[in-house]
Structure 1
């Protein structure tokens, strides 16, 4: 029951923060938007809360939200979020979770290696969240292949 309450609380908090972010992005006709300090704090708090959950599904959803936020707000830089991504990449409950955190962390640290926000936004699909991670995986593997053969 406690886990269910935690999942519901995390989901409500993330939806609230994400809804505000989407409303802000819809108010502007451009793909990339600017962020107020209040929005930054709410998004950071929501991501950290979700990523620290004991429920794998909440953490996976938070990783997708972290990617989505970074695409919509390229200026979103958070040492706390990056530290939590690094922790999950090392200590996550499953290989899949650790690899998604690793890919997300790579995107946070070097977004220019993954394409423009417009291209990435077209790849985001809430009903198929793994799609963006498969794209990131292809980009990372392609970069590793290229760097080893030069």
Structure 2
């Protein structure tokens, strides 16, 4: 558990540091700069986080992959407009070929959310479930929701 917390902290610090460097380089002046800067900041954030997720999901270390699955869910819930076919493909790959059943099942649950976020509660409600100290909570929620709704479509 400490390893997952450590990896999550490192990924967040790396992402935040890279974003602040890029945002300062993109700083514009003028009245229209706020919109441009916000869009540039969001694009930079999405690109950096996508790269971090891909790297984490490709790792040989179980804890890194597990933390990356949680981070992928966390980011998708916090930023519903984030769409990455590459991250979706990596989650699919882990769901099929993950080192353990637990990794495969968590990746399946995350993939279900990535592909069908409208089938779950609003992101605002899901944010209250996210807790890095008790990461199982969001996975229990997804599992219960999928089982209770008895989806007829497949998520793979």
Q: Which runs of no fewer than 5 residues in structure 1 stay unpaired?
A: 22-32
Going from structure 1 to structure 2, the CA distance change for 1:9 and 1:125 (only over 3 Å counts) comes to closer
Q: Which runs of 5+ in 2 are unaligned?
A: 20-37
Aligned to 1:87: 93
Q: Distance in 2 between matches of 1:70 and 1:96?
A: 20
Structure-2 change in CA distance of 1:108 and 1:133 (3 Å)? same
Displacement of 1:14 in angstroms is: 4.2
CA distance in 1, matches of 2:139, 2:7: 25
Match of 2:15 in 1: 17
Moved over 4 A (4+): 8-11, 18-21
Matched residue count? 129
Identify the residue that residue 44 of structure 1 maps to in structure 2. 50
Aligned CA RMSD, in angstroms, stands at: 2.6
Taking structure 1 as the reference length, the TM-score comes to 0.77
Whether the 8 Å CA contact 1:10–1:50 is kept in 2: the answer is no
- TM-score if structure 2 supplies the norm length? 0.74
Larger Rg: 2
